């Protein structure tokens, strides 16, 4: 089933919406019990086959198709990706991928895959229901209805009937839409009641849509949804389709980008004008036609009016799409210019800060060298010098033995001390030449100026590898083959990708990252600034 209102609160509420019963039914169902789905059992069987034979092509394709029908497009894409490895030329693979992408709200990309499958020879009936859905989401309900009719010529599918009825409601063919829904309404199909409420709201019967919501939902939700129902009347065909199938009430950047991927749509043939009849003096047609003929003529007029409204809606939707694309491109250009200005300003500030820091370091080094050059060398402390006259006086002083309290030594007076030998100054040795210090490597040669792209930063250097791996997961194609680098910046650390051959290459990488919603800016390292390779485990 189409994932109606997957992303909004209204989606959850309307998922249970029902409506006023047709004339043939008198009571609203009080409880709807989902019947057991054999699709899940069949998918389980295919998964068991793949567990024994992972390369079984038919099992992979069947599992992908069942996942689409169970509204699990992510699982379906995984199965089709494995099938593409086994049979890259099998047209069922692009057709299946297209069906999954439509459920993800990407009709433009899906339509290209459907065309690829058709060109490879796959019958249109194999994917007509999903291609019709893509046409509806691109604002081409006439093409969508043509494909729905092709799909309904094969095995009956309730979801295709509901899509067809909603498409008829988009173009204003209310009677035909109700005729398609009537068998499902008689079976109390809740999704069919929801589709009927949308058809009525899109064609001005807001009160009827409110009654359906009030009867099938608690707390009088019809009144709460009245503004939403009224807004459906003013939307273009594409906006109506996205509103009733996905709950998106206005175009998003992702939707606009996907619309650019759509191939040119085939032209729809205008409705044939009724033949001109000559005036005849005959009996009035009203008098000769039966009630059945009147109803047939009325339906024909409704179809012609619906075709006219469809052409007008398609033209208006195309004009809106082109205007939205132009506005989006203008916004992207302005955003790119703004980011380039901010990146240039940031790079300029960083260069100025680096130059200021270098000037401070140079000034401090010069001051240190000047101080060491002017400081006087330390002189050794002078040895005490004794006067020769003082030595003679001290040497001639004698103290009587009686004063010392000792007997005089035999042998008379003390002999005079022998003169001290004269000391000669040592010869000055030849100065030893200082050996030159080992040459230090030139930092500028070891770390030249290079071009980088800063993708992140942080004070915790140990967290940078995790940041790099997160960015790789976000944009694997852009980071494939890229190496992570880092360098300190005051109290934080840069996380860099590169180096790049030129600043232009770096800026091109910045622009590519911006398309993936990754903020980055180009940066050029100074000569001599050390950039360290970051180890990513």
Tell me: the pLDDT tens digits for 11-36?
333 333 333 333 323 333 333 344 45
Q: Is residue 147 part of a domain?
A: yes
Cα separation, 243 vs 237, in Å, equals 10
Cα separation, 460 vs 482, in Å, equals 22
Which residue spans within 109-256 are E strands per DSSP? Answer: none
**pLDDT-wise least confident of 24-28, 82-86, 394-398, 498-502:** 24-28
Q: Is residue 496 part of a domain?
A: yes
Question: Nearest-CA neighbor of 181 among 194, 166, 192, 167?
Answer: 192
Q: Is residue 236 part of a domain?
A: yes
What CATH number should be reported for the domain holding residue 256?
Answer: 1.25.40
Q: Is residue 508 part of a domain?
A: yes
Confidence of residue 400 (pLDDT cuts 50, 70, 90): low
CA distances from 411 to 75, 90, 301, 347, 404 (A): 127, 136, 165, 101, 18
Tokens of 163: 């899509």
Range of the domain at 251: 9-32+91-260
Note the pLDDT tens digit of each residue in 228-284.
Answer: 888 998 899 999 999 999 988 888 999 999 999 999 988 765 444 444 443 333 343
How much is the average pLDDT of 329-357?
79
* 448 has pLDDT over 60: yes
Domain final residue, candidates 260, 281, 304: 260
Q: What DSSP element (H or E) covers 9?
A: helix 9-14
Cα separation, 350 vs 323, in Å, equals 40
Domain final residue, candidates 223, 240, 260: 260
Domain count for the chain: 2
Q: Is residue 248 part of a domain?
A: yes
What CATH number should be reported for the domain holding residue 506?
Answer: 3.30.70.1070
Q: Is residue 417 part of a domain?
A: no
How much is the average pLDDT of 462-487?
90
Q: Which ranges of 277-418 would DSSP assign to H, the alpha helix?
A: 285-288, 291-374, 388-396, 401-404
Distance between start and end Cα atoms, the chain: 43
Q: Is residue 137 part of a domain?
A: yes
Cα separation, 241 vs 165, in Å, equals 12
Q: Is residue 56 part of a domain?
A: no
340 versus 262: which is more confidently predicted? Answer: 262
Confidence of residue 218 (pLDDT cuts 50, 70, 90): low
Domain final residue, candidates 237, 260, 283: 260
Note the pLDDT tens digit of each residue in 49-102.
Answer: 999 999 999 999 999 999 999 999 999 999 999 999 999 999 999 999 999 999
């Amino acid at each position: 089933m189409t994932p109606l209102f997957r992303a909004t609160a209204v989606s959850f509420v309307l998922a249970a919406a029902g409506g006023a019963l047709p004339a043939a039914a008198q009571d609203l169902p009080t409880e709807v019990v989902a019947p057991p789905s054999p699709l899940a059992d069949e998918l389980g069987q295919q998964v068991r086959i793949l567990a024994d034979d992972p390369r079984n092509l038919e099992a992979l394709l069947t599992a992908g198709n069942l996942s689409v029908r169970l509204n699990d497009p992510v699982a379906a894409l995984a199965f089709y990706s494995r099938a593409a490895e086994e049979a890259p030329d099998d047209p069922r693979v692009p057709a299946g991928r297209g069906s999954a992408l439509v459920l993800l709200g990407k009709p433009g990309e899906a339509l290209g895959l459907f065309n690829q499958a058709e060109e490879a020879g796959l019958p249109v009936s194999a994917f007509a229901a999903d291609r019709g859905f893509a046409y509806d989401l691109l604002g081409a309900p006439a093409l969508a209805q043509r494909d729905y009719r092709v799909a309904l010529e094969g095995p009956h599918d309730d979801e295709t009937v509901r899509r067809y009825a909603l498409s008829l409601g988009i173009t204003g063919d209310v009677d035909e839409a109700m005729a398609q829904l009537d068998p499902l309404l008689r079976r109390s199909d809740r999704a069919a009641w929801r589709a009927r409420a949308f058809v009525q709201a899109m064609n001005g019967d807001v009160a009827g849509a409110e009654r359906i919501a009030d009867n099938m939902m608690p707390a009088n939700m019809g009144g709460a949804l009245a503004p939403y129902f009224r807004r459906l009347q003013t939307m273009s065909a594409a906006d109506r389709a996205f509103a009733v199938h996905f709950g998106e009430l206005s175009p998003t950047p992702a939707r606009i980008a996907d619309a650019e991927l759509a191939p040119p749509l085939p032209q729809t043939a205008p409705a044939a004008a009724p033949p001109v009849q000559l005036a005849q003096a005959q009996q009035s047609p009203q008098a000769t036609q039966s009630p059945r003929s009147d109803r047939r003529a009325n339906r024909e007029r409704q179809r012609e009016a619906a075709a006219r409204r469809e052409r007008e809606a398609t033209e208006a939707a195309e004009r809106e799409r082109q205007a939205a694309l132009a506005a989006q491109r203008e916004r992207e250009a302005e955003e790119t210019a703004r980011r380039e200005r901010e990146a240039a300003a940031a790079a300029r500030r960083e260069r100025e800060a680096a130059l200021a820091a270098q000037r401070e370091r140079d000034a401090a080094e010069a001051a240190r060298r000047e101080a060491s050059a002017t400081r006087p060398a330390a002189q050794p402390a002078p040895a005490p010098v004794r006067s020769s006259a003082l030595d003679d006086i001290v040497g001639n002083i004698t103290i009587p033995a009686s004063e010392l309290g000792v007997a005089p030594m035999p042998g008379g007076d003390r002999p005079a001390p022998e003169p001290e030998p004269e000391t000669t100054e040592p010869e000055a040795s030849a100065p030893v030449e200082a050996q030159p210090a080992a040459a230090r490597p030139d930092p500028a040669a070891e770390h030249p100026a290079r071009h980088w792209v800063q993708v992140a930063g942080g004070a915790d250097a140990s967290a940078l590898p995790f940041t790099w791996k997160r960015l790789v997961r976000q944009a694997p194609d852009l980071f494939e083959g890229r190496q992570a680098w880092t360098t300190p910046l005051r109290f934080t650390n840069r996380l860099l990708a590169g180096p790049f051959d030129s600043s232009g290459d770096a800026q091109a990488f910045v622009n590519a990252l911006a398309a993936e919603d990754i903020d980055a800016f180009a940066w050029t390292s100074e000569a001599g600034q050390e950039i360290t390779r970051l180890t990513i485990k």
